[in-house]
Structure 1
Amino acid sequence: MTLLKDITVLDLTRVVAGPACTRTLADLGAEVLKIEPPKGDLMRRGVPKRGGVAVGYAQQNAGKRHLCVDLSEEAGQALVRRLADQCDVVVENYRPGVAARLGLGYELLRQSNPALIYCSISGYGQEGSASGRRAYAPIIHAELGLIELNARERGTRPLPEAVSHADFAVSAQATAGILAALVHRLQTGQGQHVDVSMAETMLAMNEWTAVETNGGIGDEISPFRPGKAALLRTADGAWVQLPGNPLTGIFAVARALGREQALLDRGWHDFRDTRDQTAEVHDLLQSWAGEFATVEEFEAALDKARVPLGQVRSLAEVAEQPWAMERRAFVELNLQGNPVKLPRSPFRFAGHDVGPRHAGARRGADNAAVLSEKLGLSEDEIERLRASGVLCAEEDEQ
């Protein structure tokens, strides 16, 4: 049994932020109809591929039904409007105003479907002087303080992030907004326009926002500074991460290892004594870590005093970890006749199985099935739409 059974979602999104949101809804049991342009979602261009489909695309679009419609054509817009009338939720991540110009904006769609939940994901929101700006995760990371904060905390020049944090953060917020709107509709029968911005999401999901916008920490020493957390190496060459600020954390490590005297010999009694000793603190921690042959030995020693650590691993290594296999954190699915490993939904519900049932498909693979089922179109009508270029299908993405 699925939690969002009988909920149908029209997915007008592309790349990561929107598709990650609708992937979650699909994992929870909603039927998601993904609409792609003739050239397909940009993520389809990625590598590696399985059966001609990029696995990165599959990660964000598993479990969906795939249509390909030319929205530059009025007939394509009309077709998608008819689909929207059959849906509970529409999700789009165009720049503000684009969906309306395509005849797919909230105000128009709600006229024929007043109970519609319509979610707009954008860089800076649907209103305001910055609303029309193009926004991708790297831009938001720069504009919203993430890159500057990381550089300042680490003492390096500004460097780009390797992961699209803003995309996945806003997708989670959008999903929460959609689910809240669905509950509201159950209570009132009313639809809703959910407006979610990447910019405000990054403010809300950064633990430093209130600190930095209220004067900063100044000369104070805070134990909660993940950007300054110590990365150390054990004798086998493995890297490990300790939590928090090492200027305060070294005292817990010393207690765990029975090295309190080493701190007293340096006149270090608490963080007020270490606040200006960053390099020496790190060197001392590293010397202790280097005495252990393996990460496991170091972790066991620290665990006696409840000091956690994490080994630096690649994502490929994570997939082989016992906890990941025990929790079934990954699911192996069929992608165009080829096995592909994808991250499973992080949700676990009693009595409900959540997660994707299939890994995705080539663009337009479900054109005929969906249009026949949802709109009652005949084979001849579908063929005419295909012949006119309104419907597209990718026969070979190799």
Structure 2
Amino acid sequence: MVKGAFDGVTVLDFTQGVAGPHASMLLALHGADVIKIEPPEGDWGRALGELKGDHCAHSIAFNRGKRSIALDLKSPDGIAVVKKLAAKADVVMESFRPGVIGRLGFGYEDLKKINPKVVYCSISGFGQTGPYSKRPTVDGLIQAFSGMMVMNKMPDGTPWRQGMIAVDVTTGLYTFQALAPAIMRQFRFGEGCYIDSSLMRAAAAYQGAKLMEWVFSKGNPPVLYMPAGSYKTANGYIMLSAMRPHHFRLLFELIGREDIANDPDLQSHDNRIRNAAKIIKALNETMPQKTTEEWIEILQPKDVFCERVNNYTDYLQHPHVKATGAVDWIEQDGMGALPVANIPGLPRASEHPPQQYAPHIGENGPEILRELSYSAADIDAMLSRGGVRAPAPAVKAAD
């Protein structure tokens, strides 16, 4: 197995949901020992969708490669365990509402007193400061707040939320991107730091070009080019993209619409956008006359950009996906075989299956306590007092 970039790095991970767990999972897949601190009832992200035992698809997708210990952070035992873990952690991550972690005694100012080189990252909806800092939020609300829903509007102008947790996942990527150089600075210069990551700022960074475009277009950004969109065929949908003039002409010649190819009102980029309704009408009239596959056989050999609109089954079964190793399948107990999209820059999931395993609630608690030099008697006493939740077969996903 190839050495991970973060082998030897210990991460104390208080985060729940998707954004923080996504970032810490990326650290884990790159070799870090990520110790997931969960409340006794488990990370609330375990219930994002259909639940099997104590897992759902999201909790598996974003918690692979970690170890879990379930603690009551208000109990003496829970506090003692966290202090021991924090003293040796290279990275601490949390996603409580701003101010909560400080009241628990594990904020950045508290922990840097016992661990001056710690890289500490807080992930929240609106950030740690400002009038909205304590405002509760979720992915869809940030899509609304950030303007994303307006940019994703329906043809009738209705703002529309993306069906995926796009902001959470993007926040995880930006947070990982912030943590990686912070860990490098820690390694090279012995410096710790504090990172304030938020869904609000990640959503804006993701839409950075659109923010600029909105300003210089005075709130009326044009479409990038025309045609670009999905159109109904005889058996499904096809996505068409014809940005360059020769692509536009070739597309309409190949589908038998020379009237559009030669239309004097459609011979420039600006005119095609201005007269988009004429182009869309022609495509809606013509594309249903053949199947998606028939159109692709006509268009792709001539380098006209087009693609079948797939669902996830289509993608997973596609010969190109299989040939390139873009997806592997892993076994998660109680869930059966699940697809894992292999992440660019990381080994394939099939090359290290144990690293793809997502822990159950508190599954690794006893081993983590042993590593902290607690005796067997101490561990039994802690489990009996309830400050540390014992792993129990009852919480494991059923077959």
Fold match, TM over 0.5? yes
Q: Counterpart of 2:358?
A: 360
Change beyond 3 A, Cα 1:233–1:45: same
Residue 261 (structure 1) shift: 4.3
Q: Counterpart of 2:213?
A: 211
Q: Counterpart of 1:160?
A: 161
Matched letter for residue 129 of structure 1: P
Change beyond 3 A, Cα 1:252–1:128: farther
- Contact 1:58 1:360 survives alignment (8 Å): yes
- Contact 2:342 2:348 survives alignment (8 Å): no
Q: Counterpart of 1:392?
A: 389
Between stretches 9-18 and 48-57, larger displacement belongs to 48-57
Residue 341 (structure 1) shift: 1.1
Residue 376 (structure 1) shift: 0.8
Q: Tell me the distance in 2 between the aligned counterparts of 1:393 and 1:244.
A: 59
SS of the residue aligned with 1:33? strand
SS of the residue aligned with 1:193? strand
SS of the residue aligned with 2:34? strand
- Contact 2:54 2:361 survives alignment (8 Å): no
Residue 6 (structure 1) shift: 0.8
Q: Is 2:228 aligned against 1:232? A: no
SS of the residue aligned with 1:208? helix
Calculate percent identity across the aligned residue pairs.
26
Residue 249 (structure 1) shift: 7.2
Structure 2 unaligned runs (5+)? none
Cα deviation per residue 1:262-281 (whole Å; 9 max; x = unaligned)? 33256432244444433321
Change beyond 3 A, Cα 1:377–1:44: same
Tell me which of 302, 305, 308 is aligned to 2:305.
308
Change beyond 3 A, Cα 1:50–1:23: same
Change beyond 3 A, Cα 1:305–1:388: same
Structure 1 unaligned runs (5+)? none
Residue 302 (structure 1) shift: 2.5
Cα deviation per residue 1:133-159 (whole Å; 9 max; x = unaligned)? 1221111001110112222x6333233
- Contact 2:245 2:267 survives alignment (8 Å): no
Q: Is 2:93 aligned against 1:91? A: yes
Residue 297 (structure 1) shift: 3.0
Q: Tell me the distance in 2 between the aligned counterparts of 1:101 and 1:18.
A: 20
Q: Tell me the distance in 1 between the aligned counterparts of 2:299 and 2:212.
A: 32
Between stretches 334-343 and 166-175, larger displacement belongs to 334-343
Number of residue pairs matched by the alignment: 391
Q: Tell me the distance in 2 between the aligned counterparts of 1:176 and 1:129.
A: 26
Q: Tell me the distance in 2 between the aligned counterparts of 1:389 and 1:32.
A: 23
Q: Tell me the distance in 1 between the aligned counterparts of 2:21 and 2:5.
A: 19
SS of the residue aligned with 1:334? strand
- Contact 1:12 1:91 survives alignment (8 Å): yes
Q: Tell me the distance in 2 between the aligned counterparts of 1:381 and 1:203.
A: 48
Change beyond 3 A, Cα 1:354–1:171: farther
Q: Counterpart of 2:110?
A: 108
Q: Counterpart of 1:117?
A: 119
Change beyond 3 A, Cα 1:393–1:251: farther
Between stretches 109-118 and 273-282, larger displacement belongs to 273-282
Matched letter for residue 263 of structure 1: A
Change beyond 3 A, Cα 1:349–1:366: closer
Matched letter for residue 292 of structure 1: K
Q: Counterpart of 1:296?
A: 293
Q: Tell me the distance in 2 between the aligned counterparts of 1:255 and 1:209.
A: 37
Tell me which of 337, 348, 365 is aligned to 1:340.
337
SS of the residue aligned with 1:6? coil
Q: Counterpart of 1:137?
A: 139
Q: Tell me the distance in 2 between the aligned counterparts of 1:185 and 1:355.
A: 30
Aligned counterparts, 1:226-305, within 5 A: 229-235=228-234, 237-243=235-241, 250-251=248-249, 253-254=251-252, 257=255, 259-265=257-263, 267-293=265-291, 295-305=292-302
Residue 192 (structure 1) shift: 1.2
Residue 167 (structure 1) shift: 0.3
Q: Tell me the distance in 2 between the aligned counterparts of 1:160 and 1:273.
A: 30
Residue 82 (structure 1) shift: 1.1
- Contact 1:26 1:32 survives alignment (8 Å): yes
